[in-house]
Amino acid sequence: MTTASIEKWLGSGFVVATLIVALVATALTPPPIKRRLRIAIVLCALYWLMGLVTRLMPAGSPLTQAVVAAGYLFGALAAARVAFVLLIDVAWERVGRNPINQLARDVLQTAVFAVTGFAALRAAGIQPTSLIATGTVVTAIIGLSLQDTLGNLAAGMAIQIDKPIALGDWVRLDKGDVTGRVVSANWRSVTIQSDDRLLLVVPNGVFGRTPFLNYSRPGGSCRRNIYFVVGSDVPPSRVHEAVMAACADCPLVLTDPAPSVLTWAFLDQGIQYWLRFYIADFAARDRAQNEVHTRIWFHLKRRKIDLAVPVRKNFVHEMDEEAMASQHAEVIHDRRAALESVDFLRPLSDDAKDMLARRGHRKLFGPGETIIRAGDKGREFYIVRHGALAVRVGDRDIATLGDGDFFGELALLTGKERHASVIALGETEVFELDEKMFKDVLEGEPRIAEEISKIVAQRQAELDARLSGIAPTDSHMKSATTEILSKIKSLFGLG
């Protein structure tokens, strides 16, 4: 190669244009693309460095020709790099196409560089085929030394073509019992982040030979299973009802596919049940499992159904009648205090209050459970003993109830549908009175029905006034009292 041709090569506007495009693109693109374009700028610098070196070397020597060829190669690779980044990383995504995965990107870029490099060497007067022919032995040695790496590359290409996994999928490897989320899949390995926030790097060759479960395919939902044992004296239908009600109260449990419970086995300590339910997000499996377990406990407890436990030792605790009577009296006293806090129950006689205190039910609810639901026709009345509850109309919370508050009186006394839902905000204890108990009270003391009607009508009118801003009139109060009294007499058969 002559000095003139070298000078011509040094003044090539092609590399200058490449450098200008790279600098402008670097200034206008986000940081990840800036880093990729910096390689092109470095290659341009090496191009001119090779040109300066050739000025210090004798023209026509084999070494000078090799340096010139290196210059050609650096310049061509710089142009190829800029073109690849602008076409694949910028233009491809700008037109709304899905980003190319890293492995396919690396393979495509290697192919582009190989073609560009061969063209540059040919332009420099070097035949690439001669390099291939003379490097057969070297290629064989390199191939043997990179056997695992090439195997990982081939396995990685197979994974990208078959697509058994995608970024974000939850998988469980058969070997090592590892469960985690796929956070990376490149030409060398698949990286899985476990529940403990640890990264497991699995070479593609090993991953391709290892059976695994993909919890995110095909539809994303996955089934969870819970086994529990209840005493054999409880009818299975009661257990099924309680468990299905518990699942219906869990937002994380899907309704399609619907949950199901099976009477599964007869064991020494009782009957084993198998609950099967589906969740949409495998990442929420522990939270869903905790929520369902908690709901089952509360629903069984309210129905006075105990979970069976293995019996190993029996402990007998003796308690004399006086201690038992004292304990019972404390419970009744506590319930009487709850009844006294309700304005429309104060006119009741002491005997009636004692009867309600003895026959009422203590109910426990967990966080997020619905105690009454808008639109239902329940005939139960509740007094809050401990905890906090939200009164919800539609999606809006309109009030918060706490210790001593009560709700459900209109449905109990008039038969009206529930106009709002009440949801426990935390672990909550309520005292429940039902229609049968109240009917027995009114049949024994029918005279108090009118007084109860006045109190309930007054409180309902005050509530309506707060919502509408219009104060109730005497005629309105009288009409409301008469309507409530009429419904009480009709519902409870007072004549």
Average pLDDT score over residue span 344-358: 89
Q: Sorting pLDDT into bands at 50, 70 and 90, what band is 89?
A: confident
Q: Is residue 313 situated within a structural domain?
A: no
Cβ atoms within 10 Å of 470's Cβ, excluding its own: 9
Of 27-31, 81-85, 387-391, the one with minimum mean pLDDT is 27-31
Task: Say what the pLDDT of residue 103 is.
Answer: 63
Query: What CATH number should be reported for the domain holding residue 443?
Result: 2.60.120.10
Mean pLDDT over 331-343 rounds to 88
Q: How far apart are CA 132 and CA 122, in angstroms?
A: 13
Q: Are residues 456 and 344 in the same domain?
A: yes
pLDDT band at residue 315, thresholds of 50, 70 and 90?
Answer: low
Supply the range of the domain harboring residue 339.
329-492
**What is the per-residue pLDDT for 331?**
83
The reply to whether 142 falls in a domain is no
Are residues 117 and 197 part of one domain? no
pLDDT at 67: 80
Local confidence band at 3 (pLDDT 50, 70, 90 cut-offs)? very low
Output the pLDDT for position 274.
97
Output the pLDDT for position 11. 43
pLDDT at 262: 96
Q: Are residues 285 and 371 in the same domain?
A: no
Q: For the segment 198-234, what is each residue's pLDDT rounded down to a tens digit?
A: 999 998 888 888 889 899 888 778 999 999 999 999 9
Q: Could you tell me if 176 and 251 lie in one domain?
A: no
Count of structural domains, the chain: 4
Q: Is the pLDDT of residue 422 over 80?
A: yes
Of 106, 134, 162, the domain-final residue: 134
Based on the fold, state whether residues 357 and 410 are members of the same structural domain: yes
Give yes or no: residues 448 and 389 share one domain.
Answer: yes
- For the segment 274-297, what is each residue's pLDDT rounded down to a tens digit? 999 999 999 999 999 999 999 999
Instruction: Please give the average per-residue pLDDT across 107-122, as a whole number.
Output: 79
Q: In terms of pLDDT, which residue wins out, 344 or 131?
A: 344
- Same domain for 113 and 164? no
Tell whether the model's pLDDT for residue 454 goes beyond 90: no
Does a structural domain hold residue 308?
Answer: no
Most confident of 37-46, 90-99, 432-441: 432-441
State the chain's mean pLDDT as an integer. Answer: 82
Instruction: Say what percent of the chain tops pLDDT 70.
Output: 86
pLDDT at 95: 64
Residue where one domain finishes, among candidates 99, 134, 169:
134
Residues 333 and 471 in one domain: yes
pLDDT score of 129: 63
CATH code of residue 248: 3.30.70.100
Of 97-106, 166-175, 362-371, 449-458, least confident by mean pLDDT is 97-106
pLDDT of residue 182: 94
pLDDT value of position 365: 92
Asked if residue 480 is part of any domain, the answer here is yes
The answer to whether residue 316 sits within a structural domain is no
In a domain, 173, yes or no: yes
Lowest mean pLDDT of 49-58, 213-222, 479-488, name the range.
49-58
User: Averaged over 460-481, what is the pLDDT?
Assistant: 74
Residue 139 has a pLDDT of 53
- What's the pLDDT at 183? 93
Q: Strands of 222-230's sheet, edge to edge? A: 222-230, 270-279, 260-267
**Structural domain includes residue 145:** no
CATH number at residue 202: 2.30.30.60
Q: Give the pLDDT band (50/70/90) at residue 300.
A: very high
146-160: average pLDDT: 70
pLDDT above 90 (res 19):
no
Q: In the prediction, which pLDDT does 128 show?
A: 65
Q: What is the mean pLDDT of residues 244-261?
A: 94
Shared domain check, 234 and 192: no
Question: Looking at the domain assignment, is residue 195 inside a domain?
Answer: yes
One domain, residues 350 and 398? yes
Same domain, 243 and 210: no
pTM: 0.62
- Out of 134, 165, 199, a domain closes at 134
pLDDT for the residue numbered 234: 92
Q: Both 115 and 56 in a single domain? A: yes
